[in-house]
Structure 1
Amino acid sequence: MSKFYLSIVLMLISCWATAAQDLPRPYFAIPPDLHQDANSITQLEDIAIDIRNINKMLVSKKKIVTILNKSGYRHIGAIAHYDNSRKIKKIEAKVYDEHGMEIEHFKQNDFSDLSAVEGGTLFSDSRKLALRYFPENFPVTVVFEVVSDLDNTAFIEPFLPYKDYYNSVVESKYSIKIRRGATLHTKLMNIDERFEHELNDDSFTITASNLKAIVPESHSPSLIEFVPQVITALDVFSYEGEKGDASSWRNFGNWMEDALFDDINDIDSETKAEIKQLVAPYTTHREKAKVLYQYMQSKTRYISVQVGIGGWKPMRASEVDELGYGDCKALTNYTKSLFEVAGIPAYYTILHSSPIKRDISSDIVSMQGNHAILAVPDGEDMIWLECTSQDTPFGFIGKNASDRDVLIVTPEGGKIVHTKKYTTQENELLTTGLVRLNEEGAIKAEVALISRGVQYGQRSGIDKQTSEIQDEYYKSYWDYIDNITIDKMAFEENKEEVFFKETIAFKALDYARKAGEEIILPLNVLNRSTYAPDRYKNRQRQLKLSLGFMDKDEVEIILPESMSIQFLPERAQVETPYGKYTSEVEKVSDHKLIYRRTFSIEPGTYGPEAYKEYRSFRKKVKRFDDQKIILTQ
């Protein structure tokens, strides 16, 4: 290194050291170990929350992030939300090159003003300012600062230094100060020796430094489950001018009933008369609930509406009845209001809706969740109703809502309960078929697939797609078969027994291949597992299998009269704590075979060392599913 360049480096480091609070570090001053596995490096994230009283909160954020490549661009995070109760007092961003020299400066007018909600939202006052900056050269450092003034104290931003994979953190700081009027509650999760924190009567602070980037691992807990985080909440809060009580889940539920639901269950006399006539032939609550659920589905559709007490207060039931649409809150409240007319108890339910299971945190009372469904008592159990779909069968909630802790609002207040868990046996796919092989090695197949449980939820709906999408879907499903042509598709959905049947006919050229005098016929035609989990030299995290399922296959294979069987695979069987597999082929006659197979996965969480065993199990399944029959002609 030349003396001149060295002097420049030392000067820059000296300048950074004397003004570290205002300027980003030059790229070369970031600790080298934080570069490993990183697409971006957060040099600093500083969140300061000043709760002046239960009606007013000032949030100041500063984030300095160095983007190392295009994949790290999404970690800039220069976005600020605003609405009628959240005002942006200050927002700006500066961009620095790898040497720490400023090259861009963005003020508030330079940010794009965008809707903060999805395109299907009919009404919403939620908006956001977003920096749309696309660097051409890397590394580049963005310094983003925003100060927001909030009239609500119901939602307090958590401490979450890791927000994504492939992002390391030099320093993360978080502080809350309460002036008066409330008590702060905190829930610390996955906080270790890298963190320093202090909780007093009127404040909370936590800092962390040198957090290395996290690399995703297959079949591990989701990021939010294992990263360090702190959730905070007030025992008394303000929400759109309404004073809330979060001292207990019971009191929180009572507040929701009084503040959000008290005046919105109105149904006009004409609809009431119609409801009473509909349920008159039935005696049980379950029968009546089913009729009214189907009535609701027949006359409403889902549209997001995010107005009224911060998007949490549902539309009035009478508005939904008149307009025929609503969001999850409105349709859930509307269904509940219909049930009230018929004398059926039902509870408004709040949950985290996601394919990745996430519970309402029961040990800190706060406004949580992103979705609403309805709970109907049925003896010792609950009937769970998804009210946003016109097609979902009565009592089916699927992968996004099952097997998780949720909040129900009862006449006695709020309660944390658990939704239905679909068992391995309930999540069934039954595949039956007839496969005919001709003398040229082509096959014709007639297949029936019947799915139940969560597999029903994953497969149903294809019948409502275009024929082009359906054709593409099945070619992808059987992607291990070359030269495939889908000839016929038929569908049957049974909402009473909750199953979905797909009847498919297809053909494929050259499925069986010649190898000298022999003909090689892959045995598993209709449900072959080609998946093998990734290999890790040093597995870091737990093995988590979130969903159990069971596949059962029985396929009749007809061979040409001109072919003779030379070799059939022996019965295969594998049993592990993570799942089971069996396959066998029965020779019914010289030209007729029956192939039977079962494959199941058991849900559970295991130590990191179990991953190697699970991977071995899946590799065996793949190998057995790839077994061949040898024929001669």
Structure 2
Amino acid sequence: MMLLINFLLAAPVFPQDLTTTVLGIPAELKENANSVIRNQEVSVEIKSISQMVIKTLKTITVFNEYGIRNIDAVEYFDQTTTIKNIEAIVYDSLGKELKKIKRKDFSDYSVAGDASDVSDTRVLKLNYTPTEYPFTIVYQSEVQTSNTAFIPTWYPIDDYFESVQRSVFKISYPSHLGFKYKEMDFGDKKIVKHETTNSLQYSIENLVAEKHEEYAPSKPVHVLFGLDKFMLEGVEGSAKSWKEFGLWMNEKLLKESTELPLETQNRIKTLVANETDPLKKAAIVYRFVQNKTRYVSIQLGIGGWKPMPAKNVDRLGYGDCKALSNYTKALLDVVGVPSYYTVIYGGERRDILEDFVSMQGNHAVLSLPYKNKMIFLECTSQTQAFGFEGDFTDDRVALLIKPEGGELVRTNKYIDKDNAQVTNGKIVIHEDGSMKMEAQISYTGIQYDTMTRFELLPLKETKDHYKERWSYVNNLTIDDLRFVNDKENVKFNETIKISVPEFVKKTGADKMLLLNVLNQNYKTPQRYRNRKKQFEIDKGYYDEDIIDIELPQSEKVIAKPENVNLETKFGTYSTEILFLEANKIQYKRKLLIKKGLYSVEEYEEFRKFREQIAKNDNSKLVLQSNK
């Protein structure tokens, strides 16, 4: 009996709340999980048009180093947002308290990352280095803000390899402010919703972790919230319709910000004096802005949304996307070319939502109406061709801010063959098996956009990148590399010379010669036994290669790959080998990949298509000596 008593006394006493121990996690939530959200409660209370309180309670168990990023114990603050409370407690796997973390233990730093950022926003973030896995963190915060333009979005799950045991989002609001919400990508998720006249609650339980699948479109479950009447940095706003929202932006954020010094006005008039076509005038103005200004991110109070006055940009020579777009617009006004300040999502392709009027977008560009179409100008780039958008802003819904109100438009698309890489090259094989190659490569569309960054990089960095890109060719040396950015025709031209010793590989009495030197697609999509999601080819493109190969007189071709012609719904691929003369061969290759959204059932067919491309791109000629 005494032994039993001693054992019971020595055994750990588990806490009442099983959310701080791994014992309370169902087995199915542990599978494929780097972390599990045990309990998350977010409460948003909109007290008035200028007062909102956000309370967060989050309990998360972390199984490994990859799950640490899901802790998300972070809050932002500035002159209009105050962190009233922030703290955390860390527990071991059995629920024993390891550490209390108070406000003073959180890292406090500015969101301005480098010299090109200017911001008054700061962040408090928990940076915890664990001594053991698994561990559990209980995190709590309370934030108060006078801005009601941006209400937190509910994301019950926001990462792969993370399970959710319970997540609840509550929001209350005065009914006269015009509260609204939009549910996105619920699918078959079992979400419980409870709504009253001035409150709304969502909850979900036992969401199992999902693995990442290649080419899967990113569509997380979430709910957006907004108000028809809101406050932004002390400025009252209205968002009942996009037209009304655009009027508000024009009157409160843009109006009276386009004044320019008389000297600058006269200078820009002189520059365009010999032009009558508005598009050519706009191109001259655009180049003037590129040569005079540089991009600096500015996020100071209302300046995070209101452009810096054009006269200040003119004097300082810098600005953020809002300021530079507004400055370009001011210059165009001077020479009589109409344009519109435009709000857009830059980066990941995302639309301004037509049926949910609210503060949306993270970027500003300038729109130029011309002959029944719209030209979009990226005013932050010092190198981009006039009228070229690139994949940062192409093919998405944007909001034009006109004097008469807001108007939604879709930006231009670069589809499939628009995004071309065309290579013409010559390879000379020497008697010792070494090779020299010279190639001219031209890029258009999104492939143009990808290449323009190289003209600004140091040559060594560019060469290192190319060597990694062509890592399948051993001991490759780049002898010469030249770029020409043809902005008039929106084409990037490249001339490259390379050499490779021992390029021809001996295999017994025969020798092997690689045909595709510069443009191999050697990676194949991952195979899935039971894929869950449909897949998306986000960007289509077209490659065409014509390579002349000159062999030594002492070598003859004894075997070559068969010509290939593949046609699928995802694209086409073909190769052809022509004998021009006794020792001269021409290798032709064409690859078209089509943008599109495809079903789960079609994925394996796509994977096999890419697998065949990878196999054929590694094809070789077999040579034999004439001696």
For the aligned pair, the TM-score class normalised by the smaller chain equals over 0.9
Asked whether 1:409 is paired with 2:410, we answer: no
Q: In structure 1, what is the equivalent of residue 106 of structure 2?
A: 111
Deviations 1:292-331 (A, max 9, x none): 1111111000111111416111100000000000011110
Distance 1:486 1:139, change over 3 A: same
AA aligned opposite 1:280: A
| Residues 240-389 of structure 1 mapped to structure 2, 5 A cutoff | 240-309=233-302, 311-354=304-347, 356-389=348-381
| Of 28, 50, 61, the match for 1:33 | 28
Q: Distance in 2 between matches of 1:603 and 1:401?
A: 16
AA aligned opposite 1:154: A
Q: Distance in 2 between matches of 1:9 and 1:202?
A: 52
The alpha-carbon deviation at position 277 of structure 1 amounts to: 1.7
Distance 1:117 1:383, change over 3 A: same
Q: In structure 2, what is the equivalent of residue 43 of structure 1?
A: 38
Contact 1:121 1:306 (C-alpha < 8 Å) held by counterparts? no
* Partner SS state of residue 177, structure 2: coil
Q: In structure 1, what is the equivalent of residue 199 of structure 2?
A: 203
* Partner SS state of residue 609, structure 1: helix
Asked whether 1:543 is paired with 2:544, we answer: no
| Residues 401-550 of structure 1 mapped to structure 2, 5 A cutoff | 401-550=393-542
Contact 2:20 2:91 (C-alpha < 8 Å) held by counterparts? no
Deviations 1:439-463 (A, max 9, x none): 2222111111110110001012212
The alpha-carbon deviation at position 411 of structure 1 amounts to: 1.9
Q: In structure 2, what is the equivalent of residue 609 of structure 1?
A: 601
| Residues 537-576 of structure 1 mapped to structure 2, 5 A cutoff | 537-576=529-568
Q: Distance in 2 between matches of 1:561 and 1:136?
A: 68
Contact 2:546 2:588 (C-alpha < 8 Å) held by counterparts? yes
Q: In structure 1, what is the equivalent of residue 164 of structure 2?
A: 169
Q: Distance in 2 between matches of 1:475 and 1:548?
A: 25
AA aligned opposite 2:253: L
Q: In structure 2, what is the equivalent of residue 21 of structure 1?
A: none
Contact 1:565 1:590 (C-alpha < 8 Å) held by counterparts? no
The alpha-carbon deviation at position 39 of structure 1 amounts to: 0.7
* Partner SS state of residue 425, structure 1: helix
* Partner SS state of residue 194, structure 1: coil
| Of 192, 214, 219, the match for 1:218 | 214
The runs of 4+ residues in structure 1 deviating greater than 4 Å are 2-14
* Partner SS state of residue 326, structure 2: helix
Contact 2:15 2:95 (C-alpha < 8 Å) held by counterparts? no
Aligned Cα RMSD in Å?
A: 1.8
Q: Distance in 2 between matches of 1:7 and 1:378?
A: 83
Deviations 1:170-204 (A, max 9, x none): 11110110135312111101224511012333111
* Partner SS state of residue 417, structure 2: coil
Q: Distance in 1 between matches of 2:484 and 2:53?
A: 56
Asked whether 1:599 is paired with 2:586, we answer: no
AA aligned opposite 2:284: V
The alpha-carbon deviation at position 412 of structure 1 amounts to: 2.0
| Of 185, 190, 193, the match for 2:185 | 190
Q: Distance in 2 between matches of 1:441 and 1:136?
A: 56
AA aligned opposite 1:199: E
* Partner SS state of residue 492, structure 2: strand
| Of 577, 580, 587, the match for 1:588 | 580
Deviations 1:407-434 (A, max 9, x none): 1111221111111101211100001111
Asked whether 1:16 is paired with 2:11, we answer: no
Q: Distance in 2 between matches of 1:146 and 1:547?
A: 41
AA aligned opposite 1:387: C
Contact 2:178 2:227 (C-alpha < 8 Å) held by counterparts? yes
The alpha-carbon deviation at position 7 of structure 1 amounts to: 6.9
Q: Distance in 2 between matches of 1:4 and 1:408?
A: 77
Q: Distance in 1 between matches of 2:422 and 2:69?
A: 42
AA aligned opposite 1:183: G
Q: Distance in 1 between matches of 2:210 and 2:322?
A: 36
Q: Distance in 2 between matches of 1:12 and 1:153?
A: 46
Q: In structure 1, what is the equivalent of residue 134 of structure 2?
A: 139
Using the size of structure 1 for normalisation, the TM-score is 0.96
Q: Distance in 1 between matches of 2:253 and 2:498?
A: 54
Contact 1:296 1:335 (C-alpha < 8 Å) held by counterparts? yes
| Of 115, 118, 125, the match for 2:120 | 125
Q: Distance in 1 between matches of 2:431 and 2:57?
A: 71
Q: Distance in 2 between matches of 1:263 and 1:208?
A: 48
Distance 1:6 1:74, change over 3 A: farther
AA aligned opposite 2:523: Y
Contact 1:183 1:202 (C-alpha < 8 Å) held by counterparts? no
Contact 1:120 1:304 (C-alpha < 8 Å) held by counterparts? no
Q: Distance in 2 between matches of 1:459 and 1:9?
A: 67
Q: Distance in 2 between matches of 1:169 and 1:447?
A: 53
The alpha-carbon deviation at position 375 of structure 1 amounts to: 0.6
* Partner SS state of residue 188, structure 1: strand
AA aligned opposite 1:186: Y
Deviations 1:109-132 (A, max 9, x none): 111111123213443110011112
| Residues 139-158 of structure 1 mapped to structure 2, 5 A cutoff | 139-158=134-153
- Show structure 1 runs of 5+ residues with no match: 18-23
| Of 88, 91, 100, the match for 1:96 | 91
Q: In structure 2, what is the equivalent of residue 20 of structure 1?
A: none
Contact 2:116 2:295 (C-alpha < 8 Å) held by counterparts? no
Distance 1:6 1:345, change over 3 A: farther
Pairs aligned (count):
622
Q: Distance in 2 between matches of 1:518 and 1:464?
A: 44
Q: Distance in 1 between matches of 2:109 and 2:309?
A: 28
| Residues 618-629 of structure 1 mapped to structure 2, 5 A cutoff | 618-629=610-621
AA aligned opposite 2:22: Y
Asked whether 1:236 is paired with 2:267, we answer: no
| Of 387, 391, 408, the match for 1:395 | 387
Q: Distance in 2 between matches of 1:91 and 1:195?
A: 29
AA aligned opposite 1:149: Q
* Partner SS state of residue 416, structure 2: coil
Using the size of structure 2 for normalisation, the TM-score is 0.96
Contact 2:157 2:220 (C-alpha < 8 Å) held by counterparts? yes
- Show structure 2 runs of 5+ residues with no match: none
Contact 1:446 1:504 (C-alpha < 8 Å) held by counterparts? yes
Contact 2:20 2:59 (C-alpha < 8 Å) held by counterparts? no
